[in-house]
Homo-oligomer: A and B are copies of this chain.
Amino acid sequence: MKSPELADLQAARERIAPYVHHTPVLCSQQLDGHTGAELFFKCEHLQRAGAFKARGATNAVLSLDATEAGAGVATHSSGNHGAALAMAAGQRDLPAYIVMPTNAPTVKRAAVAGYGGEIIECEPTLAAREATLATVLKKTGAVAVHPYNDPRIIAGQGTAALELMEQVPNLDVIVVPVGGGGLLAGTALAAKGLNSRIEVVAVEPEGADDAFRSFGLGELQPQTNPNTIADGLRAGLGELNFEIIRKHVDTILTVPDSVIVEAMKLQWTRMKQVVEPSGAVGFAGVLEHPERFRGRRVGLVVSGGNVDIDNLPW
């Protein structure tokens, strides 16, 4: 696989524009006062299907030619990528087969079904997910769309940062959460492609810190027993993602779950925005490491807002 370039991100942006939202950027005087930074929140929780994942999935689906696309698309996902892929496929009237573990949150299952995706259940292990997906691919002839280790996905996710940098000129730093690394790789390509002086900071939960460890050692490390409230960030970093991240990301910070919950509550109560735990991880990084951000213009990608409001983590 070849890393996408800025031109691929720009092409993705054109391609997906009719199908995804150009999300707003929100500010909060209270949170600026709280942190001493100027914060600009790119609201991907207001994106279609409630997460930035709509960008990559739509780009991947629209990039397929008619022959490839004919039998539909498939993936395994416990979260937002599954819903986003189902939505993107539905826009092209293609079937979407989403392999979901039996313990996937009800709200995420409902989203996949609501967008017309066909859910195939499996045991909640990575081995079962991969085996079930292989069976589905064989049976249906669908194209597998990986949630992050894919240049079309990375290019799509990077379009959020392209928009943010237009909406807010002269950012000093962009902060994004990292799980599998699709959003981070795309953001880094966008940011450094447009302005080499902008700092790109990733934030990762302490309980799922494979990106932090991989970045420090210069070698891809496996994700082992992830344990974090940020359910969107439990995946292990992809290979292509790591390659891009090594080149273009400046820093990876970690945050404990307690600060993720604090960040989430501040975004709910002060900004009145329903943000999921993973979506609050960037802001958690600012709360946990305030000295890095004080006095600077900080863009944050709020990655998603799909949270089960009947089961809140407080």
Please list the residues of chain A having a beta carbon within 8 angstroms of any beta carbon in chain B: 24, 26, 45-46, 50, 107, 265, 268-269, 271-275, 305, 309-310, 312, 314
Tell me how far the C-beta of A205 lies from the nearest C-beta in chain B, rounded to whole angstroms: 21
CB neighbours (8 Å) of A24 from chain B are: 24
CB neighbours (8 Å) of A274 from chain B are: 268-269, 272-274
Stoichiometry (number of copies): 2
Contact yes or no, A309 B314, CB < 8 A: yes
CB neighbours (8 Å) of A273 from chain B are: 272-274
CB neighbours (8 Å) of A265 from chain B are: 309
The chain B residue sitting closest to A304, CB to CB, is: B272
Tell me how far the C-beta of A111 lies from the nearest C-beta in chain B, rounded to whole angstroms: 10
List 9 additional contacts besides A26-B46, A310-B314; criterion CB under 8 Å.
A24-B24, A46-B271, A46-B272, A107-B269, A268-B309, A269-B309, A272-B274, A273-B273, A309-B314
Bound together, the chains give a CA A24 to CA B27 distance in angstroms of: 12
Tell me how far the C-beta of A46 lies from the nearest C-beta in chain B, rounded to whole angstroms: 6
Bound together, the chains give a CA A272 to CA B273 distance in angstroms of: 6
For this complex, 19 residue pairs linking A to B, each with C-beta atoms less than 8 Å apart, are A45-B272, A46-B271, A46-B272, A50-B272, A107-B269, A265-B309, A268-B309, A269-B274, A269-B309, A272-B273, A272-B274, A272-B275, A272-B305, A273-B273, A274-B274, A309-B312, A309-B314, A310-B314, A312-B312
CB neighbours (8 Å) of A46 from chain B are: 26, 271-272
Tell me how far the C-beta of A91 lies from the nearest C-beta in chain B, rounded to whole angstroms: 12
Tell me how far the C-beta of A89 lies from the nearest C-beta in chain B, rounded to whole angstroms: 17
CB neighbours (8 Å) of A305 from chain B are: 272
Bound together, the chains give a CA A301 to CA B271 distance in angstroms of: 17
The chain B residue sitting closest to A275, CB to CB, is: B272
Bound together, the chains give a CA A303 to CA B54 distance in angstroms of: 30
Bound together, the chains give a CA A208 to CA B274 distance in angstroms of: 29
CB neighbours (8 Å) of A268 from chain B are: 274, 309
CB neighbours (8 Å) of A314 from chain B are: 309-310
Bound together, the chains give a CA A312 to CA B107 distance in angstroms of: 18
Tell me how far the C-beta of A74 lies from the nearest C-beta in chain B, rounded to whole angstroms: 25
